[in-house]
A and B are shown apart, each in its own frame.
Chain A
Amino acid sequence: MYLVAHIDQAICSETACRLCTQYCPEANTILYDNAAKTAFVAVDRCKGCEICVGICDDLAKHHAIKMIMITDLESPFELSKEGFRPEKWDGNHP
């Protein structure tokens, strides 16, 4: 098993600075939920590099991202299954 990035929505939505998604090397991996004003991770695309953790901790100074075991996610969001459909995003991310 492996680690993926996980965003704490409560912390992120306080500012939703959108910095992490600009620095993630992978395309459409940290997505942005306009309704809930939070970033969230498409775990099927996350390669576990931890760059976003450093961005949120050191640049944004928000500490909203942690690396967690993929098996510990209850209902992981997978872009390949859901498609890129922002109109359906409603804050219900794992």
Chain B
Amino acid sequence: MSVKNISITPGWEKYMTKEYLDLVERGPYGKQKKVSEMGSFKEVLEEHPMCAGCAMTLFIRLTMVGLPNPEHTILIGTAGCGRLALTQTSIPFIYGNYGDTNAVASGLKRGLEVRFKDQAKDVVVMAGDGGLADIGFSAVMHSWFRKERFTTIMLDNEVYGNTGGQESGMTERGALLKMAPKGKMFEKMDMIGLAQTAGVAYIARLTPTNPTRVASVVRKAVLIAREVGPTFIQAYTSCNIEYAIPTPKVLDDARDIEAKRYGFMEIISDEAKAYLDSIDTAKKAKK
């Protein structure tokens, strides 16, 4: 592991932006940063145009802190709100067509394994509930059944936020939205259950109410995907615009939804558990 990938060719420093110089000198590379250190290191995420107080923004920010090797990670996203921030990180980002993310990630990960035999490259898909559970559903399911080794993170705001409030498969039954004026007529899809059926190695459901937990779940998911098999994180990341949540109340809403129906949940296969334990043992032995 090294910062070579991002370091500047000597002599070219003066042409680089302040933000980039800060990133090379004070970024999170080479050593996993802790959530408690936030505010004291330069984050890989820059300014972006997502709405004020958006829980999805917070979740993305925390995800970037959780990545075990940001310098060897590639993000895949698609149409939807999240990519507005994901494109403003210092991590390579591939814009899959809406619905294609998990097909693109499958090919990319396989190619990287051939090309970089001695260096693990992490592939992380981050997209909305519409992108993954509706139009991307088939590619998501097949990538899981094929045991493709990458992480899928669903930014579940339970609506199509970017296009003005259509219901998605992940919207709760009865939810009233601008473009679901009679209320959604069907149940929320059980993506956690589907991931279990498909044999996903690590599955987690959570909200951004506990920042340390978000980073730790992301780290586990990425590490397990590296060695064991597909991993899936389903995160409640409310859309304060479409659900009319006043921004100072965004975290109250997350706590409330978490208590009612979106509690923290982790499902881990025996193989994945053994792999995590082996990492911990190796870490302790080093100390």
Interface, chain A (partner B; CB < 8 A): 18, 21-28, 30-32, 34, 39, 45, 47-51, 53-55, 80, 83-86
Contacts and interface: CB of A to CB of B under 8 A. Distances in A.
A53 B54 CA distance: 15
Interface string B16-43: 0011011000100000000110111011
Contacts of A32: 38-40
Interface of B: 18-19, 21-22, 26, 35-36, 38-40, 42-43, 45-47, 50-55, 57-58, 61-62, 64, 208, 211-212, 247-252
Contact of A51 (B35, B38, B247): B247
Given A51-B251, A83-B18, A85-B22, A25 B53 contact: yes
A31 B46 CA distance: 14
B43 A28 contact: yes
B21 A54 contact: no
Given A27-B43, A55-B251, A47 B22 contact: no
Given A50-B53, A83-B18, A23 B251 contact: yes
A79 B62 CA distance: 20
Contacts of A50: 53, 247-248
Contact of A18 (B38, B208, B250): B38
Nearest to B88: A27
A22 B208 CA distance: 10
15 contacts: A18-B36, A18-B39, A21-B39, A22-B38, A22-B212, A26-B61, A28-B42, A28-B45, A30-B39, A31-B40, A47-B51, A47-B53, A50-B247, A51-B53, A84-B19
Give the most central of A39, A48, A86: most B CB within 10 Å: A86
B185 to A, nearest CB: 32
Given A49-B247, A84-B42, 8 more contacts: A22-B62, A25-B50, A26-B47, A27-B61, A31-B39, A32-B38, A47-B52, A83-B21
A3 B221 CA distance: 38
